[in-house]
Amino acid sequence: MSQADQPFEHRPVMVDEIVALLGPVPAGSIVDATVGGGGHSRAILRAHPHLRIIGLDRDADAITAAGKALAPFGDRVSLHRTRFDELGGVLDDEGIPTISGALFDLGVSSPQFDRVDRGFSYRGEAPLDMRMDQRDGRTAANVINELSVTELADLLAANGEGRFAGRIARAIVRDRPITTTTQLAEVVRDAIPAPARRTGGHPAKRTFQALRIEVNSELEVLPVALDAAMERLVEGGRIAVLSYHSGEDRIVKERFLAAADAPCTCPPRMPCGCGAAERRTFRLPHRGARKPSAIEVESNPRSESARLRTIEKLAKP
């Protein structure tokens, strides 16, 4: 079987927690903004007959796989190949003014990572691609070979490379053109001092992650999509976000805290008379980020970095 013919199979992370969080929402539509192979959506539809799914994904293979996985649910499912910051337009086209909830499962899916020819992984030889939507023109090779040393260093530093960002950027520019995943992995490995290569996994891991985020504008489209989903949310509706990268999680945390924050100015231990309670339109069902259980991490190691945050729209007083 060729890689192009391999099934798009992705094991959903924290699926039981997601299903439980979306159970109490009012009847209506849930936007699965990263539908992937349809694992989360299938579990939601099975558990909650009062909900339907509007599934979005940039990846054509994901849309095909989700269509097959969710076909038994008939007209309770509508799939669209698009970026999730376009969810408002999709809902307008479907005549859906409000939603009961939304799910964002961020990052790269297992099939995208495991398909070596997609160029997401440093574990095999492939063109430097990394596009989630292969209709897009800009690839990881474009980023690597066109940015200046300073731009590359800033990009890598912003995504966790820290003190080695400059060294890696200079090595990349020195060895350009770089066109394959293995070539880039070797350049990055050789740029990092040997003692630092002995811990923290593959030395090119953070560089590849930074490039994927840049190619797909992941940090730029996320706040737009979160704001659009919160604007459409009905009273009692909830949004759940699974993130796997500190930059993504920071955006989600700041967006949710800002939406749920209406500080009370009354003296401590006194009844609120400043109107803060009436001004709040969102609440956080649980403070902080929830993590996968030890049992799930053991059976699915890729879930270890997952962080789940949720926000709920309050009923008006």
pLDDT tens for 28-79 read 999 999 999 999 999 999 999 999 999 999 999 999 999 999 999 999 999 9
Identify whether residues 148 and 275 lie together within a single domain.
no
Does residue 151 lie in a domain region?
A: yes
Identify whether residues 227 and 83 lie together within a single domain.
yes
Q: Output the pLDDT for position 139.
A: 96
Identify whether residues 301 and 257 lie together within a single domain.
yes
Q: pLDDT tens digit string along 168-223?
A: 999 999 999 999 999 999 999 999 988 877 776 788 888 999 999 999 999 999 99
Residue ending a domain, among 213, 241, 259, is 213
Number of C-alpha atoms within 13 angstroms, CB side, residue 135?
A: 8
Residue ending a domain, among 181, 213, 245, is 213
Q: Which range in 141-145, 264-268, 276-280 is most confidently predicted, on average pLDDT?
A: 141-145
Does residue 97 lie in a domain region?
A: yes
pLDDT band at 106 (very low <50, low <70, confident <90, very high): very high
Identify whether residues 102 and 33 lie together within a single domain.
yes
Q: Output the pLDDT for position 37.
A: 92
Does residue 117 lie in a domain region?
A: no
Does residue 159 lie in a domain region?
A: yes
The SS3 assignment for 224 reads helix
Residue 304 carries which DSSP code? T
Cα separation, 190 vs 182, in Å, equals 12
pLDDT band at 264 (very low <50, low <70, confident <90, very high): low
Identify whether residues 88 and 232 lie together within a single domain.
yes
Does residue 56 lie in a domain region?
A: yes
Segments forming the whole domain that contains residue 39: 3-111+218-313
Identify whether residues 10 and 23 lie together within a single domain.
yes
Q: Output the pLDDT for position 4.
A: 46
pTM for the structure as a whole: 0.88
- Locus of tokens 């799914």: 53
Structure tokens at 156: 């890598």
**Angle separating helix axes 15-22 and 39-47, nearest 10 degrees:** 40
Strand pairing of 99-105 and 233-243? parallel
Q: pLDDT tens digit string along 223-242?
A: 999 999 999 999 999 999 99
CATH number at residue 154: 1.10.150.170
Q: Output the pLDDT for position 317.
A: 61
The kind and range of the H/E element at 58 are none
Q: For the chain, how many structural domains are there in total? A: 2
Residue ending a domain, among 166, 190, 213, is 213
Q: Which residue has the higher pLDDT, 1 or 262?
A: 262
Identify whether residues 236 and 293 lie together within a single domain.
yes
Identify whether residues 24 and 82 lie together within a single domain.
yes
CATH number at residue 107: 3.40.50.150
Whether residue 1 is predicted with pLDDT greater than 60 in this model: the reply is: no
